[in-house]
Amino acid sequence: MKFLSSFVVNKPLNIATVAALFLVGYLVLRFSGVGEGKNATALLVPTIGWGLYAVWEWFVTTRSPDADIRVDLLIIWPVLLVLSIWFVFKALG
């Protein structure tokens, strides 16, 4: 948990990188021969989720950089975890 918090809290560019990786995964499945028969569009859901989280983290970082208690992460992180795992399986399965 500490690794995750050090990787994403107050670092919207790292979060945007994760969103970009999901986008690259979508593009690979969609436009290459690798993803024939796969549901590449499913990867757009975690791409959008991580992208919105990057925007949210940027907003929190610029508006309240000294926020010590981030209760919003108790909701955001489990939702992103479920979205990421569920839709990766859906895209590859």
Taking 80 as the threshold, does the pLDDT of residue 80 lie above it?
yes
Residues near 25 by beta carbon (within 8 Å), at least 6 away in sequence: 43, 88, 91
pLDDT in the model for residue 3: 77
pLDDT in tens, 16-73: 999 999 999 999 888 876 656 568 889 999 999 999 999 999 999 999 878 778 899 9
- Of residues 1 and 74, more confidence is placed in 74
> What Rg, from alpha-carbon coordinates, does the chain have?
15
Region 65-88: what's the mean pLDDT? 90
C-beta neighbour count of 18 within 10 angstroms = 20
pLDDT in the model for residue 37: 56
Please give the tally of structural domains in the chain: 1
User: Kindly report the CA angle at 23 between 19 and 29, in degrees rounded to 5?
Assistant: 145
- Structural domain including 59 reads 2-92
Of 68, 23, 58, 56, which Cα lies nearest the Cα of 42?
23
